[in-house]
Structure 1
């Protein structure tokens, strides 16, 4: 049974519902109880605490040294207390032992913040505290597996191992009931996305100027809309929400966009899992194959980086693939991807409007108003945008803004964000049963949708990137 403050995922049908939406909670009550709002509060608290620690312990005369052109290193005092497992070759303990204090620190921070949030929302915090160690242990194992020397060489990231661990448990022995209070997929991922907002600085838009904006903001909506229409009109995919989540996942920026879009169109968890599985699988393939193709044909590193940034789903995978081509390609790829990441919120908002006004509207019933769009809109996206704006202002206006913001992100918030994502992937796996996914894979339509959509994405991104980076703005971006 779902409370009015939650955002359930009802079964998708081919016809819109004919009932009037139930009464919605008031804004104040929603802000005190809703998971979306609490993702904002938790993320904002963690970012504020992280920045405050850096600010309080910044080196003496930092501003003077920077004004004099001296190199000054700013390190977060939290860096030793917030960590993830490192790399190893033969003994897994080598990944844990040097980082043990930091791993325990993350466990205490996330466990404490989320337990407090659960209690303040009126949820059973005790059950969460009993279950969280088990879910956190699985996330730790995923990080350790991803850090193995051979595995790391193949760029098999923690997200894949976290998902696999959860899937193995849920599809063999079954997910233990004791773990369920800590399987908070959306709460984890939404809080992580709020933290991500601090990393997507608005100033990055100026790094490569209009070329990156054209590649990211023109191609993405064209591919998303075209892929969705292709799935509906040509492939005849019955579930519109599955069609939309796959289209957004593939065209915007992978898992983050899939989560935001799934919340906007109320996709089922099984559909979200399927979309993420397709995304992770193709991300691993593309991050290996695309750099090899770029090198083989002798493509310019700037053009190659723009192509990678606009097509590979995961930000981490984009960085890894760009690094293979060199620093120049890495800079372009990461910037294009960060510009594209800003579309997460815009995409979720547009999908919410489309879903309420077209997909779920009953022509025979009352017309749904703007209030229903606001209710459906994923509120955590507001936190993502707000954190981006706040940290962009800090970065640009404080005397030592770049050093302080970078120390905050590198010293704690980026690591915490990775843990939140890892916990979310473990939770997705624990919640997913392949027997429930099989009907969605019938006929191979979701796979065909992803392949066709990604093919269009690859061709169109390369064409627009060539036009923008090598012709229209070639002189402006020349080194």
Structure 2
């Protein structure tokens, strides 16, 4: 009851903002509810400010609901479908993912973008936009302002991709499946992948969506790898300070394990189609809630101190991933 008294008002505040953001997203699906949520949250926090009584609920939403949304997304993932599509797109996904992190690391250091921010931009570009950033951020202990900035950066190039990719596909004379591969691996957010795919053709849209869902599974190995790296770093820090409080169980991303369990249950056919539709709606709404809360915690003045360098990094990483994807498709004879 004490927790509910402390967090309830803030949760209700986030819930109402998320409802409004979801409604706006339904009117403009190319932008989507999550982006409206984080933008409105930033505007509110940096203009009129959020009431003091909302702080506990907002913090709960930005941490716990963020992780629960990833678990709920796993309910809609079929590991059988992932295996079938992955055999066709695995090489392209792995190469583009590696290219994304290498570009984020190299150019991030050149531009002097902070370590956590470039990791978020690399994950968001290489895996699946906001969902990947949501999964990675608690592992690397990213601040709300870093999450908000990285998602805003990724969003800019999602919109650019929707406008440019269909023309690129026609220019190269791509087949529906080839364009579906390109869109599914080089565009970040699911809504943008779907939009670009179906602008090209219905077949390209169907295939791009499946590739994108398969690409989502890359959240698991990347999250585990980052957790291991964080664990090593914290263990060294604990040893240097002669501390004994280090524990791998505290670093391990348990919500990723539950994401896999949810996917396995769906693969076993334990969820009916009606249940899957409800779970999908819940997962998407929880993401809107989490990102609305992150926006409500973001300080715009701190964001401005980072300047345009993170946006420039996002542009470079997006360009590298697109070019690498096109080269791999060309080398494999698909274009």
Q: Could you state the TM-score of these two structures normalised by the residue count of structure 2? A: 0.90
Change (3 A) 1:226 1:160: closer
Find out whether 1:258 has 2:133 as its counterpart.
Answer: yes
Aligned residues: 333
Contact map agreement 2:230 2:251 (CA 8 A) in 1: no
Matches within 5 A, 1:6-155: 124-148=3-27, 151-152=28-29, 155=30
Counterpart contact for 1:254–1:279, Cα < 8 Å: yes
Distance 1:127-1:289 versus aligned 2 partners, 3 A rule: same
Equivalent residue number for residue 350 of structure 1? 225
Other-structure match for 2:155: 280
Q: Using CA pairs under 8 Å that are at least 6 residues apart, name the structure with larger relative contact order, 1 or 2.
A: 2
- Give the secondary-structure state (helix, strand or coil) at the position aligned to 1:267: coil
Note if 1:244 corresponds to 2:244: no
* Alignment-derived partner of residue 294 in structure 2: 428
Report the Cα distance in structure 1 between the residues aligned to 2:255 and 2:83, rounded to whole angstroms: 25
Shift in alpha-carbon separation, 1:209–1:260, aligned structure 2, 3 A: closer
Deviation at 1:385, TM superposition (A): 0.9
Deviation sequence 1:19-45 (CA, Å, 0-9, x none): xxxxxxxxxxxxxxxxxxxxxxxxxxx
Q: Structure 1 residue 272: deviation in Å?
A: 1.2
Equivalent-residue separation in structure 1 for 2:239 and 2:291 (angstroms): 41
SS at match of 1:147: helix
CA contact (8 A) 1:135 1:426 kept: yes
- Equivalence for 2:76: 199
Kindly indicate whether residue 204 of structure 2 is the aligned counterpart of residue 337 of structure 1. no
CA distance in 1, matches of 2:249, 2:96: 27
Q: Does 1:190 align with 2:67?
A: yes
Q: 1:214–1:468: 8 Å Cα contact kept in structure 2?
A: no
In 2 relative to 1, CA 361–212 (structure 1 residues): closer, same or farther, beyond 3 Å? Answer: same
Q: Provide the alpha-carbon RMSD of the alignment.
A: 2.6
- Residue in 1 aligned with 2:174? 299
**Residues 465/198 of structure 1: CA separation in 2 closer, same or farther (3 Å cut):** farther
Indicate yes or no: 2:202 matched with 1:327.
yes
1:449 corresponding residue in structure 2: 313
Which has more radius of gyration?
1
CA distance in 1, matches of 2:236, 2:84: 43
CA contact (8 A) 1:291 1:325 kept: yes
| Distance in 2 (alpha carbons) for counterparts of 1:305 and 1:167 | 34
- 1:292-323: CA deviation from partner (whole Å, max 9, x where unpaired): 33234432221111101001111222122211
Residues in 2 aligned to 1:147 and 1:262: alpha-carbon distance in whole angstroms: 27
Q: CA deviation at 1:440?
A: 2.2
For residues 204-226 of structure 1, give each alpha carbon's deviation from its aligned partner in whole angstroms, at most 9, with x where no partner exists: 12433522111222321332134
SS at match of 1:124: helix
Deviation of residue 457 (structure 1)? 0.3
Q: TM-score, normalised by structure 1?
A: 0.64
Post-superposition Cα deviations, 1:115-138, rounded to whole Å, max 9, x if no partner, equal xxxx5xxx6112333333322221
**Residues 322, 333 of structure 1: 8 Å contact kept:** yes
When residues 321 and 242 of structure 1 are mapped into structure 2, their CA distance, relative to the original with a 3 A threshold, is same
The Cα shift of 1:265 comes to: 1.5
Asked if structure 2 preserves the Cα contact closer than 8 Å seen for 1:202 and 1:388, the reply is: yes
Instruction: Report the CA distance shift for 1:209/1:156 in structure 2 as closer, same or farther (over 3 A).
Output: closer
When you count helix as a share of all residues, which structure comes out higher? 2
Say which SS state the counterpart of residue 470 (structure 1) adopts: coil
Give the match for residue 192 of structure 2: 317
CA displacement at 1:435 relative to structure 2: 0.9
SS in structure 1 of the partner of residue 268 of structure 2 = helix
1:176-222 Cα offsets, whole Å, 9 max, x none, are: 12222321112222111101111121111243352211122232133
**How far off is 1:242 after superposition?**
1.6
- Tell me the distance in 2 between the aligned counterparts of 1:363 and 1:137: 42
Equivalent-residue separation in structure 2 for 1:177 and 1:381 (angstroms) = 32
